[in-house]
Structure 1
């Protein structure tokens, strides 16, 4: 009786491991920042929300998170969107959206923010850059 269960289990595993999945898939995509409402001064250990604007290229793109890299007093920021691939039913969208990034400086000094705005014709990353002082 046990060999029958073993054969059935192997059969189900073989059938369920089909690698030809044609259904919708999701992927992460980096989107450029279109505008930033950047304060010029911050208070140490205080949380400030910075509004970051971006454009969704299609109705299948949704805000997922921020790309946020710290390097001493430099912060590099971009938008990470989740693109839901639902076949060809994904109309373009040029609507402006806003996501707030929360910044809490831990040290006094001047922070340099680099917001990724895309790439130029040669494929070089372009940034909108701001300096913000933490003086109290």
Structure 2
């Protein structure tokens, strides 16, 4: 009886393991900032909110996090998306605008420059929209 149970258990384990791959291709892609909403000034040691809007190119694109680079009083911002291409493919989205909130908590007063990445030009050069804002 124990041998029969062991045999059935072994058959169950072997048949429940799938050797097929799900053929998913996963990668990350930067998306340009379409627009943003921010206050006229920020306050030091306070969480300030910046609403960032961007276009999702396909149904396979999802927000992962903000690409956020610091350089003294300059902040470079873009959208880091995760792209999951599965067996069913991706559907192009033409006008889907998504938005995420960037939380900015400056620790020093001064004039900050935000560089929102707008994509690349025809020569492959990065394009930025710069906003200068005071932190009081």
Where does residue 96 of structure 1 map in the other structure? 97
> What does 1:1-136 align with in structure 2 at a 5 Å threshold?
23-87=23-87, 89-94=89-94, 95-135=96-136
- Is the contact made by 2:22 and 2:86 (CA closer than 8 Å) also made in structure 1? no
More displaced 10-residue stretch of structure 1: 65-74 or 22-31: 22-31
Output the aligned Cα RMSD.
1.6
Where does residue 4 of structure 2 map in the other structure? none
CA distance in structure 2 between the partners assigned to 1:111 and 1:43 by the alignment: 12
CA distance in structure 1 between the partners assigned to 2:69 and 2:35 by the alignment: 19
TM-score normalised per structure 1: 0.81
User: Secondary structure of the equivalent of 1:33?
Assistant: coil
- Is the contact made by 1:40 and 1:131 (CA closer than 8 Å) also made in structure 2? no
More displaced 10-residue stretch of structure 1: 88-97 or 72-81: 88-97
- Is the contact made by 2:63 and 2:79 (CA closer than 8 Å) also made in structure 1? yes
Deviation of 1:68 after TM superposition, in Å, equals 0.2
Deviation of 1:89 after TM superposition, in Å, equals 1.9
Deviations 1:30-51 (A, max 9, x none): 0000001122201100001100
Paired residues in the alignment total 117
Any gaps of 5 or more consecutive residues in structure 2?
1-18
Any gaps of 5 or more consecutive residues in structure 1?
1-17
